Amino acid sequence: MITGDPALAPVSLRKRFPLRHFRQVPGPELRRLLHRLPEPFGGSRDRDLLAMALGATLYVPATRPDLTKTIVRRAERGVCSMVIDLEDAVADHAVEFGKRQAARTLDELAAGDEAYPLLFVRVRDAHSITELLDRLGPGVVALTGFVLPKFDSACAADYLEALERASKALGRRVFGMPVLESPALVHRETRDRELSRIGALLARHRDRILAVRIGATDMCSTFGIRRDRDLTIYDVRVVADVIADIVNYLGRADGTGFTITGPVWEYFADHARMFRPMLRTSPFAELDAVPFRQSLVSRDMDGLLREITLDRANGIQGKTVIHPSHVAVVHALSIVTHEEYADALDILRTAAGGVAASEYRNKMNEMRPHRPWARQIMLRAKVFGVANQGVTFVDLLKAVVES
């Protein structure tokens, strides 16, 4: 393992490409759509900025034969964060091969000239963090951090201490993304105590916690549930209640909270539908894009669009995804609308409080209570950009999904 400060490492080991959202969209098209273009963030160590920039985090099994090529190909198509999965996606007998391939892939990416996204490894336990770092050569500079599954108060200390040791060994922050999904968290009688303990442990390692991820599939498993593709996770009340409590404990905007990312949307193929699609026809008809709408509906993207909207309404940013087709949808809906941007600018212009009509003359902006929201909007605008006035979500979806 190569140790020390990467800033002092040979140039060949710290090559970075200008990681930025929508690199795959032609420049003229992007300038037509956006009032403010997304800014590069690949070299940043700003925790809040990187957490917002995660966007759609795509999982890929560590045992995939063409892993290095897959990561490069996904980066070229707009993926900006990926997880090399050694846990649920890998059979028990293949874990050792997965570890070797994960290390080899990170080394190949760091030593090569091709683009790659923010990269994390989802380990099975705390010991695997040290084990993987010991296997790495130049790949240490390609590694952003680790995803910590089944994170609860029983295993949290081991995970967080392993992250601390890794950061000291590399001379830089190695980020962790705990996944909240354990039964102690899901069960009503133990949830408050568990969240309180987790919150206290995470607070002591705040600088290393990039985001808190929600493992809704394991939560559903606690009750023998698998949600249908016609429903969002917020329709599964026992899981929606857990998500609400996670945001309540860990997502506060007073400086004590963390970025919380949305659970996975696991459907992507055509099927016979029981209920009407969750996507209105009229916005697509106005832009002569009805066939595009049908394409989205046929791949269950209407459910994903609905869930992304509900994620954000509930204080959640970004999303775990397991299919490449979902990435563009998450990112298109992450672009800040011109109306949101105008409101955020107005709110942040004054610290004196008060109330004023929106520039769009359709709502009131309250300067103090809306200030945390406005800060989030400006952070999202920095990494995803701002739509031009009159550009709709249909315009953005078509440009990003079809690029």
Boundaries of every domain in the chain: 6-11+42-334, 339-384
Question: Average pLDDT in the 236-254 region?
Answer: 97
pLDDT-derived band at 272 (thresholds 50, 70, 90) equals low
Tokens (6 digits) for 141:
């500079």
Q: Which residues pair with 61 in a beta bridge?
A: 85
Give the residue from 393, 315, 376 showing the smallest Cα distance to 341. Answer: 376
pLDDT for 313 beyond 90: yes
Stronger pLDDT, 176 or 16, i.e. the higher one? 176
Stronger pLDDT, 150 or 43, i.e. the higher one? 150
Eight-state DSSP code of residue 177 = E
- Is residue 321 classed as helix, strand or coil in its secondary structure? strand
Res 44: pLDDT:
84
Res 5: pLDDT:
41
pLDDT-derived band at 22 (thresholds 50, 70, 90) equals very high
Give the residue from 316, 313, 231, 315 showing the smallest Cα distance to 278. Answer: 231
Question: Average pLDDT in the 4-15 region?
Answer: 36
Residue whose structure tokens are 């992304």: 308
- Superfamily of domain 6-11+42-334, CATH level 4: Phosphoenolpyruvate-binding domains (3.20.20.60)
User: Quick one: three-class SS letters along 26-41?
Assistant: CHHHHHHHEEECCCCC
Eight-state DSSP code of residue 355 = E
How far are the Cα atoms of 71, 150, 278, 291 from residue 328, in angstroms, in the given order? 16, 28, 18, 18
What's the pLDDT tens digit per position in 89-148?
999 999 999 999 999 999 999 999 998 999 999 999 999 999 999 999 999 999 999 999
pLDDT for 11 beyond 60: no
